[in-house]
Amino acid sequence: MCPFHSLYIRSSLNGLRRTKPASVAAATAPLLHRFGSRRGLIIQTLAEMVKLERLTDLDSGIVELKLDRPEAKNAIGNAMLQGLQNALKTIGNDSSTNVVVISSSVPRVFCAGADLKERKLMTTSEVRQFVNSLRSTFLSLEFLSVPTIAVIEGAALGGGLELALSCDLRVCGEESTFSLPETGLAIIPGAGGSQRLPRIVGRSAAKELIFTGRRINGKEALSMGLVSYCVPSGEAHAKAMHVARDINQKGPLAIRMAKQAIDTGTELAMSSALKVEEECYEQLLNTEDRLEGLAAFAEKRKPKYLGK
């Protein structure tokens, strides 16, 4: 087996989860469990800066992660970063999650990036530690075994855009704005933006955006492939939920294996990538879900997948 394969592919369907960075196991805040009719609040962390909700009934399997720090336009400081780490750890340990939707509770902003007021008070060593932690947290988000969808209404700037780039899909409103303005502060994107952006939009387009730090709107983001969908302002969440529900109806084990096959294979030569695809396919052959899919097709009914 190619040495890269073992990083991602597990031999048992009991844990179809990509290997995560060690830093994801940061100290966690106490968890508050509650459940409602359609939505059940799983956790609230650190003055409710990050909220995690499990949807129920027909939307069971979809989890929403909401940023809620209105006084700072969802700028990420140490407390909010810990909230993100707590939320990602909870999601990663929850095998019933099929899709994660990341959005903002603050009108006209997704995330304004790092909290520069807080950073101004940090020492050089503290800045380095914070940026390294932010980078590893976004890597943990990218490495979640289930699909992630960022819902962007308003500004996604700096670290906020890097957060969105760590998701599998991005849905935005037309009046959203995107920018990596770090070069204007005499630094570079440090939480993965300099690496993820060129992989998504291409090297030349990424260089132009990072070198100039200019802002683009939702329509331009769509034209360059930065987002998957651009819809009228105010409709991004509804569109993202439509996509999440479509994914949620598919075989959950197959979705996880598809994500692993794509993410692992695109970093390899074709011969090795096809081996990854074979290994992922093999893990699905003896599942109950595969047999259910075949039976439902033959009987012309909707399949009932159990993730087994």
d(CA 220, CA 179): 12
3-state SS assignment for residue 171: strand
Active-site residue, selected from the candidate residues 142, 153, 162, 279: 162
Residue among 53, 182, 192, 244 flagged as catalytic: 182
Query: What phi and psi, each to the nearest 5 degrees, are found at residue 50?
Result: -130, 125
* 159 among known catalytic residues: yes
Are 307 and 95 in contact, with CB atoms under 8 Å apart?
yes
Distance CA 24, CA 116 (A): 23
Please name the residue that has the structure tokens 């409709």: 235
Q: What are phi and psi of 36, to 5 degrees?
A: -115, -165
> Residue 100 pairs with which residues in a beta bridge?
63, 148
Q: How far is CA 38 from CA 33, 93, 96, 179, in A?
A: 15, 22, 16, 35
Of 75, 87, 114, 254, the catalytic one is 114
Identified catalytic residue from 61, 113, 158, 159: 159
- Does residue 173 carry a catalytic annotation? no
Q: For strand 50-55 and strand 39-45, is the pairing parallel, antiparallel, or unpaired? A: antiparallel
Give catalytic status of residue 162 as yes or no.
Answer: yes
Does 267 qualify as catalytic in the annotation? Answer: no
Catalytic residues: 114, 159, 162, 182
